[in-house]
Amino acid sequence: MSIRRTVFFVSDGTAITAGTLGNTLLTQFEGQKFNPTRIPFVDSVERAHDVVTQINEAAERDGAMPLIFSTIVDAAVVAVLQESQGEVLDLFTEFVPRIEKVVGAARSPKVGRAHGISNVSNYENRIEATNYALSHDDGVSINFDEAEVILVGVSRSGKTPTCLYLALHFGVLAANYPLTDDDLESIRLPAFLRRNKHKLYGLTIDAERLSQIRETRRPGSRYASMSKCRNEIGAAEDLLRAEGVPIVSTTHSSVEEIASRILVDLGLERQHY
Amino acid sequence: MSIRRTVFFVSDGTAITAGTLGNTLLTQFEGQKFNPTRIPFVDSVERAHDVVTQINEAAERDGAMPLIFSTIVDAAVVAVLQESQGEVLDLFTEFVPRIEKVVGAARSPKVGRAHGISNVSNYENRIEATNYALSHDDGVSINFDEAEVILVGVSRSGKTPTCLYLALHFGVLAANYPLTDDDLESIRLPAFLRRNKHKLYGLTIDAERLSQIRETRRPGSRYASMSKCRNEIGAAEDLLRAEGVPIVSTTHSSVEEIASRILVDLGLERQHY
């Protein structure tokens, strides 16, 4: 009989940070079964008491001590959670005293700032970049000169989700360009891309995976066939190599990993932190 | 003279978790100046030595001890960082032993999983949901029946970025519908939305802010005028209230906060963890 342990992600804000923190730690415990519950906006002692009730109910029901990952600024609210039957792993409790020691100053606690609009111009950049990505998707609009990154690859190689992630998470102006049959035959990029070569990044993907993805969009089409996918990818990789454009494969990488790699390789890190 | 202290976000994976963790903690130290640098893919002792060089250079340059937020699975790699002149705040070192005690089992360390494709079907859901959001943006395609959330509001109230965030981060099928002049005049939602009423969520925004946003898109237009914005928002709020649709204001809330609120209120949390 295996236990499914309840895990709570609790915060005075969105609890997105608490979720990220908890999920990262739980990836280290593969054999275990967890039942995750996110509880955002716990910003008062009263709400904390409600959460304690939920924690204690889960403890009884599961017959297992719940884990509580929390990012709650107000120590009085955290203290309430600590009276529960669960184990509270609180980010601020652990790390703030050590940072205070290094910077030689006490913190100035404010609630729920991590995923709020703490830096307005930063936040607006992210929203503007998202609009930019939407209007510069699949080469529809071709003002590539103001882009910071231009992703190049065959249709369905992962360009759009990666652009949106770069925009929404990092505020990067990311455009994308789908290689056409003409580009692939001439083994040459169009002039408006060549003059932006330092911004180009190529995406590739295994032919089998590409065929699968295309098949869900246009079942039985030539577009989705293995031979078409294999030819397109081969030609695209030849072209990108000939043009000296860096390439990353999206087959086994997430948008987070691809975006991260691109920012480092194109030296865009600093501007976007 | 004020010190600008260098902060490193270091990980064997994307370092996105380390960045989130560090930024959350740094929001607590408002008076301080930090210079953040993300270093992903530090997955060997050799790479760790390179990072130590960077840390020590920053310490000399700044005349201040750098802070290093890390999420590195391999204890041998973390140990190298700990020899640097910076203060290492490592997520795994702090919390893993406490979780091991609760679950009664040792961890099974794997590198860089937090933002990799650790759960393939989960990841594919996110990408599918993103495609869904793109093809169900601004009421263009109207198969709302398969949506899990339908955001309703006037043009530029924040529907599109919120849908994309819900999709890309949580894998939620999020569509959106821009209220038309007809809807606003009749104070009534169209039938295809009424039959999905339990999925609806209204977005509103201050008229001043809306006017600003519209102004950047169509300067000097009636569409961007304060009177038009005020009328539209007033009518939209009346309609949404009359129909019993919950409303959230996007004026001072980030997409993360709005998405978080919607998931809780519509009871979509559990399915998407």
Q: What is the ipTM of this complex?
A: 0.78
| A25 with B91: Cβ contact below 8 A | yes
Q: Is A65 exposed, middle or buried (0-12, 13-18, 19+ CB in 10 A)?
A: buried
**CB neighbour list of residue B189: distance below 8 Å, 6 or more residues apart:** B152, B183, B197, B200, B239, B243, B245
Cβ separation B164–A160 shorter than 8 A: no
pLDDT at position B139 is 63
Q: Do A37 and B91 touch (CB under 8 A)?
A: no
Domains along chain B? 4-103 (3.40.50), 120-272 (3.40.50)
What residues of chain B lie within 8 A of the CB of A105, using their CB? Answer: 29, 31-32
In the predicted model, what is the mean pLDDT of chain A?
Answer: 89
Which is more confident, A118 or B256? B256
> Residue A234: is its pLDDT beyond 90?
yes
Residue B218, min C-alpha distance to chain A (Å) = 14
Q: Is A117 on the interface with B (CB under 8 A)?
A: yes
**Residue B113 forms contact with A (CB below 8 Å):** yes
For chain A, say whether B130 makes contact (Cβ under 8 Å).
yes
Q: What is the pLDDT of residue B24?
A: 87
- pLDDT 10s digit of each residue in chain B, 273 long? 568 899 999 999 888 889 889 988 998 898 888 998 989 999 999 999 999 999 999 999 999 999 999 999 999 999 999 999 999 999 999 999 999 999 998 888 665 556 665 566 778 888 888 888 888 876 666 678 889 999 999 999 999 999 999 999 889 999 999 999 999 999 999 998 999 999 999 999 999 999 999 998 899 999 999 999 999 999 999 999 999 999 999 998 889 889 988 998 898 865 554
Which residue bears the tokens 């992703």?
A151
CB of A24 within 8 Å of a chain B CB? The answer is yes
CA distance A2 to A16: 28
Looking at the DSSP bridge assignments, the partners of residue A175 are A150
Residue closest to A174 by CA, chosen among A242, A238, A247, A258:
A258
A-chain CB neighbours of B30 within 8 Å are 108, 110
pLDDT at B204: 97
Q: Read off φ and ψ for residue B33, nearest 5 degrees.
A: -105, 130
CB contact under 8 A, B31 and A108: yes
Given this model, what pLDDT does residue A11 score?
93
pLDDT of A138 over the 90 cut? no
pLDDT at B98: 94
Residues of A in contact with B14 (CB under 8 A): 256-257, 259-260
Which one-letter amino acid corresponds to residue B208? E
pLDDT band at A144 (very low <50, low <70, confident <90, very high): confident
The predicted-structure confidence for A145-176, as pLDDT tens digits, reads as follows: 889 999 999 999 999 999 999 999 889 999 99
Shortest CA gap B37–chain A (Å): 7
Alpha-carbon gap, residue A162 to A158, rounded angstroms: 6
**Is any Cβ of chain A less than 8 angstroms from the Cβ of B174?**
no
**Contact between chains at A161 and B130 (C-beta distance less than 8 A):** yes
For residue A141, the 8-state DSSP code is S
Q: In terms of DSSP H, where are the helices of A73-115?
A: 75-82, 91-103
Select from A14, A9, A27 the least CA-distant residue to A113.
A14
